Structure 1
Amino acid sequence: MKYYVELIIINKDSVRDPEGETIQKYVIEKYTNNIIETRVGKYIQFKIEANNEEDAKNLIEKIANEGRLYNPIIHKILVRVRRE
């Protein structure tokens, strides 16, 4: 089966996000005070073939970890899978 797998890389909650802070201060706050925090990250989308959603997710997690697509000391990853 074919899947789209999204890999989202963002700073951990305990790590400052200067880019997100800048967007919050100079863009968001011009329009509303209802948004409490803005964080910025990286988004990578993969289209892959796998036997099931779990295999698709595991493959992308392996690539992210072993391929050093992020720094696990300061980043966290979110992996979302959907069928084509």
Structure 2
Amino acid sequence: MSLSLTLAALWAVLANVLAMLPSRDHHWRTAYMLIAVGIPIVGYVTAQHGPWVGMLILAAGMSVLRWPVIYLGRWIKRRTLR
């Protein structure tokens, strides 16, 4: 397995472990940290393995961080319907 896929797998394991820990802010601070670390990893995977694998890794990350994605979609919808 390449370094980029290894980093993506470690990111997924870290995200799941952090989700098990208690949080006072409903894990939003953790989500921001995971997004900041995950975006370069998705770029690295895409550079090494192409856009299809990059999109699969992006979809996997979006499934882990689904609430920030849902809120982003709601925000975009609110902004475009005005």
TM-score, normalised via structure 2 length: 0.28
Which has the higher Rg, Structure 1 or Structure 2? 1
Higher fraction of helix = 2
Higher fraction of strand = 1
Report which structure shows greater RCO (CA 8 Å, sep ≥6): 1
TM-score, normalised via structure 1 length: 0.27
